[in-house]
Amino acid sequence: MRRLQLLAAFVLLTPLACQAKKPAVQSPAGMQVVLLTIATAKGQVHTFQVEVAATDAQQERGLMFRSALAPDAGMIFPMQPPRFASFWMKNTLIPLDMVFIRPDGRIARIAARTEPFSLMPVDSGEPVSAVLEIAGGRAAELGLAKGDHVRWTP
């Protein structure tokens, strides 16, 4: 009887274990969408659904030509190896907050409410492993600050 129960469990659970990994969620722009969390020094945790700009072409386009960005949405620009980053707002229709993220996951700097269409460079000030863009003013609304911890899984 015990063998029959084990065999039945094996038959029932094997298909679940062998299922292909669930496909990644993609944005209308064809980018992978992942959850990103920011834990503040005050213990608050904020979650965003962000597009991953993984390729050079995706990073060059970024959030250009978008007329709106949801409060809990954004785009992450991974940088491996970590490096100094510089962004501009050419063809970007809406103000953005640029959150520069150190290799240890801490926020190095926040460039708040960057000016749409500006060609002035917005730089990280130090080597970073990622840059997060969210709706302009959102970082201040949420109380995000230098040193807060950012976590996401590509």
Task: Tell me which residue range forms the domain holding 117.
Answer: 24-152
Domain-located, residue 51 = yes
Domain-located, residue 96 = yes
Domain-located, residue 29 = yes
Q: What is the CATH number of the domain that holds 42?
A: 2.60.120.1140
Contacts of 89 (CB under 8 A, 6+ apart): 96, 114, 115, 116, 117, 118, 119, 120, 122
Beta strands 86-87; 96-101: pairing state? unpaired
Domain count of the chain?
A: 1
DSSP calls for 49-96: EEEE--SHHHHHHTTTT-S---TTEEEEEEEEEEE--EE--TT--S-E
Residue-level pLDDT, tens digit, the chain, 154 residues: 544 443 333 333 444 444 444 446 877 778 999 999 999 999 999 999 999 999 999 999 999 999 999 999 999 999 999 999 999 999 999 999 999 999 999 999 999 999 999 999 999 999 999 999 999 999 999 999 999 999 998 7
Domain-located, residue 12 = no
Domain-located, residue 6 = no
Angle subtended at Cα 152 by Cα 92 and Cα 48, rounded to the nearest 5 degrees: 55
